[in-house]
Amino acid sequence: MIDVKHLTKWYSRVLAVDDISFHVDKGMIVGFLGPNGAGKSTTLKILTSYLPATSGKVAIAGHDVLEDSLEVRRNIGYMPEAVPLYPEMRVRELLMFRAAMRDIPARDRKTAVDRAVERCWLNKPKDMTRRRVGELSRGYKQRVGLAESLLHNPPVLILDEPTIGLDPNQIRAMRELIQELGQDHTIILSSHILAEVEQTCNHIIVIAGGQIVADGTPESLQKQVSGPSQVLAELRGAESAKMVKAIEALEGIHKVEASAIGGWTRLMIECDGKSDRRAEIYRMVAEKGWQLRELRHTVGSLEDFFVQVTYKQNMQAAGRLAQ
């Protein structure tokens, strides 16, 4: 449905998107995850044919965004990050205008607007369709923006930070709506919040510094990104150097670090690869007659990975600024 090949975008001398390629199949809900300034919005703007790419190819529903831009625009519904609307218009009036701009025949416009209003709860609990857009709260504006993008029932929905600025209840409602919409639309949404993407999307693309750093389902990504497995143990009964030496002597142990914690020794034990060595460690501790109060296996989470990615990007940006 969406095919991106070697996409690069320079803003004069700033490289915003650096040779990215990905593919989105029909019916997928793809989360574009990345820290602020990672190149998410730029990529989405190129997908909508609002911005041209410096190089590379993008096709949506088989149409090239550059050569067949009008056809691409007919096939997408787009909600920009700031949800720009005309404040002086009334909600229904605005949606009717957008419906006309979207080539919906005059006789079908009312039905299309009613459907979008209902889907985005603009008539519940209060009917907001007669209100002026400028008077609406951020949450309602977001719903109007989403309703606009749904009017022509496009096969592809592109939503830039759809939950930014919403309160927790609204975030949950938006998430449910997106999942519901995912049944008949291919959706690509951007976010800088991991939890949100993890809960809403069935595919995640992590982007940082203009490059794709991970791409897959939340489960496969979890496997891809988790670092070496670690065991945390808290022991008592011997000198910490002696404990470190004994554990290091075990098979499949890569590194052991000790720290004191209130009369106990906390050991961070890094195992080889993804192996879990708790059983061997326990057996050895029992044989030695040491006391054990905690033995826990930990793997790097997607969140750790994302924090690392964000940190790296920030460091690179700081480095560039320093130059």
Instruction: Please tell me the distance from the alpha carbon of residue 189 to that of residue 175, in angstroms, as a whole number.
Output: 11
CB atoms within 10 A of CB 170: 18
| 192 interacts with other proteins by CB under 8 A | no
Q: With respect to other proteins, which residue has the nearer C-beta, 89 or 268?
A: 89
Amino acid at position 316, single letter: Q
Is 217:202 a contact under the CB 8 Å cutoff?
A: yes
Instruction: Please tell me the distance from the alpha carbon of residue 296 to that of residue 271, in angstroms, as a whole number.
Output: 12
Instruction: Please tell me the distance from the alpha carbon of residue 319 to that of residue 54, in angstroms, as a whole number.
Output: 25
| 102 interacts with other proteins by CB under 8 A | yes
Q: With respect to other proteins, which residue has the nearer C-beta, 11 or 311?
A: 11
Q: What's the min distance (Å) between Cβ of 11 and other proteins?
A: 9
Q: Which stretch in 32-40, 41-49, 274-282, 288-296 sits in contact with other proteins by CB under 8 A?
A: 41-49
| 286 interacts with other proteins by CB under 8 A | no
Please name every residue paired with 256 in a beta bridge, in sequence order, or none if there are none. Answer: 269
Angle at 270 between CA 264 and CA 276, to 5 degrees: 100
| 135 interacts with other proteins by CB under 8 A | no
Q: With respect to other proteins, which residue has the nearer C-beta, 55 or 220?
A: 55
Biggest distance spanned by C-alpha atoms of the chain:
84
| 63 interacts with other proteins by CB under 8 A | no
The DSSP element (H or E) to which 198 belongs, if any, is helix 194-200
| 108 interacts with other proteins by CB under 8 A | no
| 307 interacts with other proteins by CB under 8 A | no
| 62 interacts with other proteins by CB under 8 A | no
Residues forming the site for other proteins (CB under 8 A)? 45, 48-52, 70-71, 73-74, 76, 78, 80, 82, 84-86, 88-89, 93, 97-98, 100-103, 148
